[in-house]
Amino acid sequence: MDSAERVDLVIARLKDTGEVAVAELAEASGHSEMTIRRDLDRLESQGVLRRVRGGAVSLVPRGQEPPYVLRERQAVEAKRRIAAQVAALVPTGAAVALDSGTTALEVARELAGRPVTVMPLSLQGADVLARSAETTVLVAGGEVRPGELNLHGPLAEASLAAVRFDAAVVGCCGVSAGEGVTAHDLQDVAVKRAMMRSSQRTIAAADSTKIGLVTMGHVCPVGDIDTLVTDDGAPEDAIAEIRAAGVDVVTV
């Protein structure tokens, strides 16, 4: 069991019971207690949990979005496939607004090096794209959320309003036919709306675990999306409902 698997184990236990013990994890993973402690220390510095004597307790309240360092470990393969499909939908020379989040970051990796114009809404996205001389990067302004490194606030919205895009690539926390596109954070909602306002088309990217989910911040009715790219793990009926709303759903 390597480092990544151990973290997964810790996360699973935390989700289950809200706390973990060093000795128990060492037993379950087959590694020494010292290694477990180092894992937990790292996760503590990332804001995932808080160390207590003998173990750790969860810091991620139920219903809230897990921190970036956890989300980037989830559905990695699906996100990569989705990102490749999204990038294929962006023609050469196009201008796109690119959301923050782990899926959008994969899209950035796919777009980097292609002759397109991209406005990323996160610093990681900007970093990835700016390495390539072929790609024009027009970074949005805004306040940076620590840890998440996404851009939000009035400056971000003003940046988006100042440009017109061929497409907006939007990540999200939930997509359902009834409640539409939803996100965890209200400031993100405002940014996503601004992206869509400035774009001719909206491409939503969401792995299948997001299909059918509803979170707090309402972005738009599902019909406002032009294309939804997801993986093939989503329930058939949920996809059918979304299609019925006029969305072009692409599964990869």
Partner DNA sequence: CGTAACGAACATGTCTGGTGTTTGAATGTC
Partner DNA sequence: GACATTCAAACACCAGACATGTTCGTTACG
Angle between helices 76-89 and 102-111 (to 10 degrees): 50
Q: Residue from 19, 28, 31, 176 that binds DNA (CB under 7 A)?
A: 31
Q: Residue from 52, 57, 161, 244 that binds DNA (CB under 7 A)?
A: 52
What are the angstrom distances between the C-alpha of 74 and each of 18, 103, 188, 210?
Answer: 19, 10, 20, 12
Does position 43 bind DNA by CB under 7 A? no
Residues that bind a second copy (CB under 8 A): 123, 126-127, 129-130, 132-133, 136-144, 146-147, 149, 151, 153-156, 158-159, 162-163
User: Radius of gyration over alpha carbons of the chain, in Å?
Assistant: 19
Which residue's CB is nearer to DNA, number 53 or number 62?
53
In terms of phi and psi (left: phi > 0; alpha: psi -120 to 50; beta: otherwise), the region of 176 is beta
Q: How far is the CB of 146 from a second copy (least distance, A)?
A: 4
Does position 35 bind DNA by CB under 7 A? yes
Q: How far is the CB of 246 from a second copy (least distance, A)?
A: 33
Q: Give which of DNA, a second copy, none residue 127 binds (C-beta under 5 to 8 Å, depending on kind).
A: a second copy
Q: Give which of a second copy, DNA, none residue 236 binds (C-beta under 5 to 8 Å, depending on kind).
A: none
- The 3-state DSSP class for residue 154 equals helix
- Distance CA(1)–CA(12), nearest Å, equals 15
Do strands 217-220 and 180-183 pair parallel, antiparallel, or not at all (unpaired)? antiparallel
Structure token pair of residue 229:
């790219």
Q: Please enumerate in sequence order all residues whose Cβ is within 8 A of that of 62, keeping only pairs 6 or more positions apart, or say none.
A: none
Determine the interface stretch with DNA among 19-27, 67-75, 128-136, 216-224 (rule: CB under 7 A). Answer: 19-27
Cα–Cα nearest to 225, from 238, 207, 243, 252: 243
Q: Residue from 15, 17, 18, 38 that binds DNA (CB under 7 A)?
A: 38
Give residues in contact with DNA (CB under 7 A). Answer: 2-3, 6, 21-23, 30-35, 37-39, 41, 51-55
